[in-house]
A and B are shown apart, each in its own frame.
Chain A
Amino acid sequence: MKKLRFLLEKEFKQIFRDKSIVAMIFVLPIMQLGILPIAMDFEVKQVNIVIIDNDHSPLSSKLINKIGASGYFKLLAYEPSFRQGLEYLKSSEADIVLEIPNSFEKNLIKENAAKVNLTVDAINGTKSSMGSSYLTSVIADFNNNIQIFQNKNIVQPVIINIENSTWFNPYANYSWFIVPGILAFLLTIFAGSISATNIVREKEMGTIEQINVSPIKKWQFLLGKLIPFWVMGMIILTIGLLVGIIFYKIRPIGSIPMMYALSGIYLIALLGFGLFIATISNNQLQAMFISFFFIMIFALMSGLFTSIESMPEWARIISHSLPITYFIKALRMIILKGSSFADIQYIFVILIGYAIGLNGLAILNYRKTT
């Protein structure tokens, strides 16, 4: 026990002496959490549209007015031909080109149907699908109204009203979704990368030899490395929660002790993961590359930005084998929904499993001799 205390003292001193590391550990997360979520917004607010009206009829201008008045669309330009309209798509200034053909009004009155052409820049998936579905619904709405413009005697149409309400986040604030996720992610990159490079550094500098020849046991050495990082991780979590409360007004509604317990277990798991990487790499560049590889997978496949259910089957399996997936899910549930222990106890079990498994793997793989 005494040995461990000295080791801890050594590690803490070593970490806090390097001012640039300390700054990076504390400032980077605060800055990233404080700034980035403001920039992260999926919502399609404005779709830029270019209109080519070949008909110039009262009805076509009514349709154009209706689109302009809907609020979703910015009428970027009117162009005389499709070729000129296409230039806007090429340069990415516009998202949709709407072409109203000749004799649009005539066809509508004579044949009860007329076509309009939408050309959508489909490269940006969200924008193109949202934009075209907004536009189709504006046109559908317009369809209901033309009967009235034309003063036709029609049977009163049936109407199904849809009332919707968003729970747990009534204003559908995107930052509520992203802030707990980013917090979980920052803890992950901290724990996953710092413990990996720290031990490899001792390998690379040769100072690990001194520890290997000392009577310190494997577990004492690893514990001596883990505890300081664990403490720092919990501090980062606290700072992150405060940033959430102060900057984004996200007050956790669930139990805070439970959240800390869960995060503590998660940190142990991730630190074990970092240790394991350290045991399989020879230098810091390698260690960082390996942890970068996994952290990228964590970032993009954990449901941090995009939803897991939409992924193909095999990708969902990968996603469900990552500890971070469960951690992000649980954090969101506790902070935003106030889920109870019963709701997330399976996540506790899974994360404890990861903590034991990953640390066990690291200890088994760590050799005092080279």
Chain B
Amino acid sequence: MKQFLAFITKEFYHVFRDKKTLLILFGIPLMQITLFGFALTSEVKNADIIVIDNAKDDDSEKLINKLRASTYFTIYEKQIGYNAIEKEFKKGQIKAAIIIPPKFNNDLIKGKKSQIQILTDGTEPNVAKMLVQYITAITMDYQREINATNSPMMMIIPEIRMLYNEEGNGSINFVPGVMALVLMIVCTALTSVAVVREKELGTMEALLVSPFKPIGVLLAKALPYLVLSFVNLNFILLLAVFVMKVPMQGSILLFFFFSMIFIATSLSMGLLISNITDSQQVALLLSMIGMMLPTIVFSGFIFPLENMPKFFQWFSYIVPARWYYTGVKSIMLKGLDIHYIWKEMVALSMMGTFFLTIAISKFKIRLA
């Protein structure tokens, strides 16, 4: 036991002496969560749109003013021909064009019917669809206004309540997602070099002739990082709650307990990578580059999981960040208790144990 303690102390020294890495380790998550929490948004705002007003009458003027009042777009009025629109799209300056026909007002009064045309840049399909939706809603609103002055109508008025995010704070969706992503990749990368570095530098020999069992070596390697990650988690939570204004509706204790399970799982995954690779470069490429995109995609914080083909939905079950992301949302935003997140906890614990077991069994006690 005493020997083991000495070994752990050695590992702690190792980690804490490398000041530059420590700085990076604490700096990265904090900076990224701040950056992305504020910058990412799923809405469309300030999209550049040109309006080609061929009518120039009362109604078209009113409609354009209504569009202008919205924060979704920046409206440019331009008198260009149909062919020139394509040029504007190709330059990448505008996202959509609205064409109002001549005699807009006349058609509305006489024929009770008129038509406007929306052209969108389909190279950004999501933005295009949202823009069509917004413009349609505004036009419908205008139509209702005209009709309301003509005759009173029966109306069903929907009253909308945005649950869990009454103020429409955009960062509350992304912060838990970025937390899951950053914690997972940083923790995995940390331990992924732990063993392989000793192999590469030739100090593995010394470890192998020591009396420690593989499990002891791996635990001693992971322990300093577990402590570091815990400190890191505290910083992240403070940042999320006080700077990003993400509410903490649920129990803090549960949050920490749940997060530590996730961190332990990520560290075990790193240990596994470390044991099956031969160089730090490969280990790091696997743990950071190889995992970054799959984690972004399958944790569900940018792309909704239920949209994916069934196969990918199953695949997402083996991505630890996915479980953490849902769990953190439930605790922090919805204030739910353990009854709602036990599934996430069990899944993460099972994955962690699995990774660690494989890592131990793959640990080679002989140099090749």
A interface residues (Cβ-Cβ under 8 A, vs B): 18, 20-21, 24, 28, 32, 36, 38-46, 63, 89-92, 108-109, 112-130, 132-133, 135-137, 139-140, 142-143, 146-147, 150, 152, 154-170, 172-174, 176-177, 182, 185, 189-190, 193-194, 197-198, 201, 204-205, 281-286, 288-290, 292-293, 295-297, 299-301, 305-307, 309-312, 315, 318-319, 329, 332-333, 336-340, 343
Q: Which residues of A contact B27 (CB under 8 A)?
A: 293
In the complex, A329 Cα to B18 Cα: how many Å?
A: 39
B120 (CB) vs chain A CBs: closest residue: A166
* Most chain B beta-carbon neighbours within 10 Å: one of A152, A167, A286: A167
In the complex, A114 Cα to B156 Cα: how many Å?
A: 5
B290 (CB) vs chain A CBs: closest residue: A28
Checking B48, B122, B159, B304 against A124 with a beta-carbon cut-off of 8 angstroms, the contacting residue is B304
A319 (CB) vs chain B CBs: closest residue: B39
B9 within 8 A of A: no
22 contacts between A and B (CB under 8 A): A18-B279, A20-B282, A41-B304, A42-B42, A42-B304, A45-B307, A113-B157, A120-B161, A123-B173, A146-B154, A162-B115, A163-B115, A165-B118, A166-B119, A167-B119, A168-B122, A176-B122, A300-B178, A309-B95, A310-B44, A310-B46, A312-B39
* A172 and B158 form a contact (CB under 8 A): no
* Most chain A beta-carbon neighbours within 10 Å: one of B25, B285, B330: B285
Q: Kindly provide the distance from the CB of A200 to the nearest chain B CB, expressed in whole angstroms.
A: 9
In the complex, A340 Cα to B25 Cα: how many Å?
A: 44
* A198 and B281 form a contact (CB under 8 A): yes
* B333 and A164 form a contact (CB under 8 A): no
Overall SS of chain A's interface: helix
In the complex, A40 Cα to B293 Cα: how many Å?
A: 11
With A24-B286, A160-B142: A339-B90 Cβ-Cβ less than 8 Å: yes
* A168 and B24 form a contact (CB under 8 A): no
A41 (CB) vs chain B CBs: closest residue: B307
B79 within 8 A of A: no
Q: Which residues of B contact A133 (CB under 8 A)?
A: 133, 137
Q: Which residues of B contact A91 (CB under 8 A)?
A: 340
Q: Which residues of A contact B304 (CB under 8 A)?
A: 41-42, 44, 124, 126-127
Q: Which residues of A contact B296 (CB under 8 A)?
A: 299
Q: Which residues of B contact A182 (CB under 8 A)?
A: 293
* A297 and B284 form a contact (CB under 8 A): no
With A43-B126, A297-B32: A158-B143 Cβ-Cβ less than 8 Å: yes
In the complex, A130 Cα to B137 Cα: how many Å?
A: 12
B193 within 8 A of A: yes
B81 within 8 A of A: no
* A122 and B326 form a contact (CB under 8 A): no
* B121 and A168 form a contact (CB under 8 A): yes
* Most chain A beta-carbon neighbours within 10 Å: one of B18, B46, B150, B277: B46
Q: Which residues of A contact B90 (CB under 8 A)?
A: 333, 337-340, 343
Q: Which residues of A contact B292 (CB under 8 A)?
A: 189, 292, 295-296, 299
* A125 and B42 form a contact (CB under 8 A): yes
Checking B119, B147, B163, B302 against A165 with a beta-carbon cut-off of 8 angstroms, the contacting residue is B119
* B329 and A123 form a contact (CB under 8 A): yes
A335 (CB) vs chain B CBs: closest residue: B123
* B284 and A158 form a contact (CB under 8 A): no
> When each residue 81-103 of chain B gets 1 if its CB lies under 8 Å from chain A and 0 otherwise, what string results?
00000100111100100000000
Known contacts A152-B154, A339-B90, then 12 further A-B pairs from the complex at CB < 8 Å, ordered by chain A residue: A38-B312, A42-B126, A46-B306, A119-B163, A122-B164, A161-B115, A285-B193, A293-B32, A301-B35, A305-B302, A306-B42, A309-B48
* B284 and A126 form a contact (CB under 8 A): no
The interface stretch among B106-114, B203-211, B234-242, B355-363 is B106-114
**Residues in B294-321 with C-beta less than 8 Å from chain A:** 294, 296-298, 302-304, 306-309, 312
A92 (CB) vs chain B CBs: closest residue: B326
Checking B42, B116, B330 against A162 with a beta-carbon cut-off of 8 angstroms, the contacting residue is B116
With A300-B40, A333-B90: A123-B333 Cβ-Cβ less than 8 Å: yes
Q: Kindly provide the distance from the CB of B153 to the nearest chain A CB, expressed in whole angstroms.
A: 6
B128 within 8 A of A: yes
Q: Kindly provide the distance from the CB of A338 to the nearest chain B CB, expressed in whole angstroms.
A: 7
B267 within 8 A of A: no
B interface residues (Cβ-Cβ under 8 A, vs A): 18, 20-21, 24-25, 27-28, 31-32, 35-36, 38-48, 86, 89-92, 95, 108, 112-130, 132-133, 135-137, 139-140, 142-144, 146-147, 150-166, 168, 170, 172-173, 178, 181-182, 185-186, 189-190, 193, 197, 200-201, 277-282, 284-286, 288-290, 292-294, 296-298, 302-304, 306-309, 312, 326, 329-330, 333-334, 336, 340
* B185 and A122 form a contact (CB under 8 A): no
In the complex, A170 Cα to B270 Cα: how many Å?
A: 44
Q: Which residues of A contact B130 (CB under 8 A)?
A: 130
* A162 and B162 form a contact (CB under 8 A): no
Checking B25, B113, B293 against A289 with a beta-carbon cut-off of 8 angstroms, the contacting residue is B25
Checking A41, A123, A201, A340 against B164 with a beta-carbon cut-off of 8 angstroms, the contacting residue is A123
Checking B124, B164, B181 against A307 with a beta-carbon cut-off of 8 angstroms, the contacting residue is B124
Checking B20, B32, B156, B161 against A296 with a beta-carbon cut-off of 8 angstroms, the contacting residue is B32
Checking B113, B125, B340 against A166 with a beta-carbon cut-off of 8 angstroms, the contacting residue is B125
In the complex, A182 Cα to B292 Cα: how many Å?
A: 12
* Most chain B beta-carbon neighbours within 10 Å: one of A166, A193, A286: A166
* B114 and A293 form a contact (CB under 8 A): no
Q: Which residues of B contact A18 (CB under 8 A)?
A: 279, 282
* B189 and A143 form a contact (CB under 8 A): no
In the complex, A41 Cα to B302 Cα: how many Å?
A: 9
In the complex, A126 Cα to B173 Cα: how many Å?
A: 10
In the complex, A170 Cα to B123 Cα: how many Å?
A: 9
* A154 and B153 form a contact (CB under 8 A): yes
* A112 and B133 form a contact (CB under 8 A): no
Q: Which residues of A contact B329 (CB under 8 A)?
A: 123
A282 (CB) vs chain B CBs: closest residue: B20
* B113 and A159 form a contact (CB under 8 A): yes
* B112 and A159 form a contact (CB under 8 A): yes
Q: Which residues of A contact B172 (CB under 8 A)?
A: 123
* B45 and A309 form a contact (CB under 8 A): yes
In the complex, A161 Cα to B99 Cα: how many Å?
A: 12
* A286 and B303 form a contact (CB under 8 A): no
In the complex, A204 Cα to B307 Cα: how many Å?
A: 45
